[in-house]
C-alpha cells in the first residue's frame, strides 16, 4: 500500500464539504504544520501532565482566563465543566461522579439555548433545568433575569449559555444574575469561532468556564477542545481527568503537582469522570500547534476569501436559468456569506438532490437545513475553488 490516500486505498469514500465544519463529516482539515507536529510528537514519550501544564499556560495567554485545559473535544469540556461545578474542590464528590444522590447538581439552561450537546453535562451527573420560554413572537423575551433568579435553588451549581444570533439574552445579564447568587456561568463556545476575538470575549464578559472546539475553526485534531476559565474550576476539571495510578509520593512531587493542589486531597486520587475522555500527546501537541497558527489568522482576510468563493459559486449556479440562487449576506459582518439555491421548477426536489449528492463518490455534503422549503445552502468555508467548481458542476448535472 502507498501512503497516497488512506481512504481510497481502502475504498472508503471521501467527502467534499459544502456545509461547513460538522463533526460527522470530520470537522475541518488540519494544516500541514499541525499534522507534522503530531507526527514528531508521536516519536517520544512525555508525561501528559507536563504537556497539559504547558497547554494551560498557553491557553491562559490566548484567552485571558486564569487557567486552561485541553479536553477531548468541546463536548468533554462541557462534561468536565459540569463535573467541576458539581464537585468544586471536594474530592470526595469528584470521586463518586456521575452519581449525585443528595448532592447539588442542577444546571440552569435558558430553554432557547437547549441543544443536543446538553447530554455532555448529563454525563457528569448534572440535571438540566430549563428557564424561560422558546416563544420569541411579538418581541417577547426568551427569558427574563428574574426568571433565572427565581429558578435558582440550593441544588443549583451553574448556569449555562450559548451565543447564537437568535438569542436575545446577553451573557452579561446571565453573568450578573449568576454571580449575585455565587454561581458560575458555563459558555458552550464550541462553534463560535471565528472571529479570533471570541477567544477572549466570553471570559472578558465574566464567564467562568468556556469550552471551544479544537477541531472546528482552530483546525486542530478533531478530538480536541479547549476549556478556559476560573482557576479553581479548571483545576477541579483537571484533577478529574489526570491519569493516576502511582504512589502518592511520586504523584505529589511529580508533574501533576504543577496542575493541581494536592493539600486538600484525602489521599491518592483515583481516575475521575474525565479519564474516558483522554487526550493523547499527539492531539495535545496538534492542538497547541493549531492554536499557535490560529491566533495569527487575519479574520478579515479569511472572511474575504470565503465570501469571494461564495460569489464564485453564485456566478456559476446563477447561469442555470432553472435555479433561483441568492447570496445570503449575514447581518453579522463577521459571519460568512452562503449561497442559497431554491429548486422550484428545477425538475428535482431539494431532498432528492441532496440524497444524490451524498451518494456520489466523493460524497458531496451541502447544508440541508432549509430542505423543507425546497432549498439547499452551500457554505464556502471548507471548499477549495476547484472543489467549489466541481460541486457546481455536479449540481448542474441533476438540473433539467
Give residues in contact with ligand PLP (CB under 6 A): 23, 73-75, 115, 117, 188, 190-191, 213, 215, 225
Min. distance of Cβ 191 from ligand PLP in angstroms?
3
Min. distance of Cβ 166 from ligand PLP in angstroms?
13
Residues 191/163, Cβ–Cβ less than 8 Å: no
Indicate the residue among 265 and 285 with the shorter CB distance to ligand PLP.
285
Residue 258 DSSP one-character state: G
Cα separation of 237 and 285, whole Å?
Answer: 20
Indicate the residue among 23 and 35 with the shorter CB distance to ligand PLP.
23
Residue 167 DSSP one-character state: -
Indicate the residue among 132 and 225 with the shorter CB distance to ligand PLP.
225
Cα separation of 265 and 242, whole Å?
Answer: 14
Indicate the residue among 25 and 348 with the shorter CB distance to ligand PLP.
25
Task: Give the phi and the psi of residue 225 in degrees, each rounded to 5.
Answer: -155, 170
Min. distance of Cβ 167 from ligand PLP in angstroms?
12
Min. distance of Cβ 18 from ligand PLP in angstroms?
18
Cα separation of 196 and 63, whole Å?
Answer: 10
Indicate the residue among 63 and 374 with the shorter CB distance to ligand PLP.
63
Min. distance of Cβ 213 from ligand PLP in angstroms?
3
Cell 437568535 belongs to which residue? Answer: 166
Indicate the residue among 185 and 392 with the shorter CB distance to ligand PLP.
185
Least Cα distance to 334 among 198, 219, 202, 194 occurs for 194
Least Cα distance to 227 among 344, 400, 72, 334 occurs for 72
Residues 268/244, Cβ–Cβ less than 8 Å: yes
Indicate the residue among 75 and 151 with the shorter CB distance to ligand PLP.
75
Cβ partners under 8 Å of residue 249, min gap 6: none
Min. distance of Cβ 162 from ligand PLP in angstroms?
6
Min. distance of Cβ 177 from ligand PLP in angstroms?
22
Cα separation of 174 and 181, whole Å?
Answer: 11
Q: Which residue of the chain is nearest ligand PLP when measured via CB?
A: 73
Amino acid at each position: 500500500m502507498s501512503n497516497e490516500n488512506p481512504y481510497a486505498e481502502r475504498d472508503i469514500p471521501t467527502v467534499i464539504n459544502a456545509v461547513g465544519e460538522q463533526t460527522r463529516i470530520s470537522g475541518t482539515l488540519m494544516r500541514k504544520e499541525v499534522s507534522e507536529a503530531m507526527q514528531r510528537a508521536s516519536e517520544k514519550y512525555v508525561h501528559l501532565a507536563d504537556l497539559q501544564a504547558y497547554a494551560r499556560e498557553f491557553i491562559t495567554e490566548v484567552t485571558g482566563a486564569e487557567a486552561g485545559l485541553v479536553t477531548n473535544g468541546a463536548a468533554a469540556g462541557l462534561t468536565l465543566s459540569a463535573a467541576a461545578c458539581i464537585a468544586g474542590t471536594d474530592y470526595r464528590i469528584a470521586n463518586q461522579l456521575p452519581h449525585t444522590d443528595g448532592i447539588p447538581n442542577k444546571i440552569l439552561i435558558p430553554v432557547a439555548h437547549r441543544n443536543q450537546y446538553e447530554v455532555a453535562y448529563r454525563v457528569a451527573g448534572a440535571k438540566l433545568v430549563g428557564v424561560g420560554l422558546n416563544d420569541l413572537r411579538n418581541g417577547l423575551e426568551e427569558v427574563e433575569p428574574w426568571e433565572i433568579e427565581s429558578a435558582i435553588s440550593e441544588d443549583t451549581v451553574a448556569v449555562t449559555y450559548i451565543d447564537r444570533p437568535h438569542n436575545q439574552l446577553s451573557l452579561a445579564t446571565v453573568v450578573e444574575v449568576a454571580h449575585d447568587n455565587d454561581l458560575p456561568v458555563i459558555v458552550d463556545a464550541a462553534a463560535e469561532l471565528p472571529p479570533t476575538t471570541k477567544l477572549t470575549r466570553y471570559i472578558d464578559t465574566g464567564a467562568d468556564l468556556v469550552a471551544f472546539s479544537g477541531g472546528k475553526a482552530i483546525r486542530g485534531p478533531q478530538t480536541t477542545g479547549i476549556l478556559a476559565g476560573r482557576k479553581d474550576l479548571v483545576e477541579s476539571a483537571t484533577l478529574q481527568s489526570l491519569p493516576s495510578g502511582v504512589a502518592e509520593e511520586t504523584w505529589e512531587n511529580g508533574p501533576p503537582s504543577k496542575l493541581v493542589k494536592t493539600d486538600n486531597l484525602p489521599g491518592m486520587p483515583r481516575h475521575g469522570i474525565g479519564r474516558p475522555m483522554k487526550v493523547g500527546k499527539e492531539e495535545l501537541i496538534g492542538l497547541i500547534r493549531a492554536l499557535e497558527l490560529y491566533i495569527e489568522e487575519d479574520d478579515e482576510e479569511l472572511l474575504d476569501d470565503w465570501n469571494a468563493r461564495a460569489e464564485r459559486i453564485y456566478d456559476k449556479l446563477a447561469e442555470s436559468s432553472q435555479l433561483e440562487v441568492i447570496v445570503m449576506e449575514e447581518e453579522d459582518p463577521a459571519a460568512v456569506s452562503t449561497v442559497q439555491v431554491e429548486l422550484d421548477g428545477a425538475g428535482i426536489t431539494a431532498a432528492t438532490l441532496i440524497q444524490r449528492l451524498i451518494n456520489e463518490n466523493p460524497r458531496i455534503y451541502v447544508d440541508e437545513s432549509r430542505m423543507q422549503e425546497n432549498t439547499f445552502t452551500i457554505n464556502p468555508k471548507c471548499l477549495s475553488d476547484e472543489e467549489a467548481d466541481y460541486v457546481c458542476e455536479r449540481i448542474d448535472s441533476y438540473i433539467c
